[in-house]
């Protein structure tokens, strides 16, 4: 089976590429390299540098490759930029996705796997953990744009019979994560501590997030190749961790003498608390997280230490 994977040079997408190659799939990667890196892409995958907002460029890839499956990870993921530039966010996340959906129908794609967000889509839920049935009330344009595409997927399944699966990720972390921009607090803390920079926590350190290691996310994408058609799944650990808890986990993983972070005001668009109920994924996607936070942070820290030594 041939899969076209958008955003395949990015942190999560490149790991999914590796996972699909390990499953024996033929993988075609589309990425504009605005955040990803060409070296992240396995030489066993074919690579096209293209922006998903460019429908002509996408169509050329589809015409050349005729993929049977789409895995859509390409996105504008910076919450702060989404707040400042909501039109840009919508162009990338909504219009770019519609281009893919149109081509999926035209080229009779058999399945569309979509990487959505569980961390930003629910806003501030009144009850935690949030299940897939929790009201969707995002407080950032990023959450709105990612959720909008879920509606389009449902629409295209009704109008054209396009099979799809939606994976709503928690806060994904792991090797290859970028420390640039807003995303990736584990990566940011690792890189800063290794450089002797005291990390900044936005807020008082008590905000909670639900973290999931990237290898667990890869397994969810593998399972979604054959399970969960027409369904939405939360993909995370199901365990809430404070910002300060992440800070201490990274500090311990790097074996750095005890010190305290700096604090700054909370940023617009950030939720205070989010945790995800992953029982549906366990029951219907045959998936559950395997990597405990301390082990996952240790793996990530080791990757950053090795990269620093190689520079």
Position of tokens 């081509």?
103
**CA 284 remoteness from chain centre:** 21
Both tokens of 89, joined, read 């966010």
Is residue 166 within 8 A of residue 132, CB to CB? The reply is: no
CA–CA dist 104, 169 (Å, integer): 23
Beta strands in the chain (DSSP E): 2-6, 26-31, 46-49, 69-72, 111-117, 164-169, 171-173, 200-202, 208-213, 231-235, 240-242, 262-264
Describe the strand order of the beta sheet including 69-72 as a list of residue ranges: 46-49, 26-31, 2-6, 69-72, 111-117, 164-169, 231-235
Active site residue 211: no
CA–CA dist 301, 47 (Å, integer): 29
The three-point CA angle 242-184-178 to 5° equals 160
Catalytic residue among 122, 142, 173, 211: 142
Nearest to 193 by CA among 138, 246, 119: 246
Which residues have a catalytic role annotated? 142
């Amino acid at each position: 089976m041939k899969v076209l994977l958008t955003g395949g040079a990015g942190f999560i997408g490149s790991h999914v590429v590796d996972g699909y190659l390990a499953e024996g799939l033929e993988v075609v990667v589309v990425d504009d390299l605005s955040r990803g890196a060409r070296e992240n892409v396995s030489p066993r995958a074919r690579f096209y540098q293209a922006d998903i907002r460019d429908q002509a460029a996408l169509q050329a890839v589809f015409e050349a490759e005729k993929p049977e499956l789409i895995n859509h990870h390409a996105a504008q993921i910076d919450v702060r930029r989404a707040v400042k530039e909501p039109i840009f966010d919508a162009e990338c996340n909504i219009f770019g996705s519609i281009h893919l959906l149109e081509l999926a129908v035209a080229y009779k794609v058999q399945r569309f796997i979509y990487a959505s967000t569980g961390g930003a889509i629910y806003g501030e839920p009144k009850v935690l953990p949030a299940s897939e049935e929790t009201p969707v009330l995002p407080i950032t344009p990023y959450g709105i744009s990612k959720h909008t595409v879920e509606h389009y997927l449902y629409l295209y399944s009704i109008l054209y019979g396009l099979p799809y699966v939606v994976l709503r990720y928690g806060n994904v972390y792991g090797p290859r994560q970028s420390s640039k921009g807003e995303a990736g607090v584990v990566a940011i803390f690792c890189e800063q501590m290794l450089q002797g920079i005291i990390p900044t926590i936005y807020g008082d350190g008590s905000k909670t997030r639900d973290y999931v290691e990237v290898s667990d996310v890869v397994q969810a994408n593998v399972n979604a190749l054959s399970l969960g058609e027409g369904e939405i799944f939360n993909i995370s650990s199901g365990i809430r961790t404070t910002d300060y808890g992440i800070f201490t986990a990274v500090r311990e993983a790097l074996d750095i003498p005890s010190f305290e972070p700096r604090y700054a005001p909370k940023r617009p668009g950030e939720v205070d608390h989010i945790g995800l109920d992953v029982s549906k994924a366990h029951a219907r996607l045959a998936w559950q997280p395997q990597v405990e936070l301390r082990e996952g942070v240790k793996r990530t820290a080791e990757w950053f230490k090795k990269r620093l030594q190689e520079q």
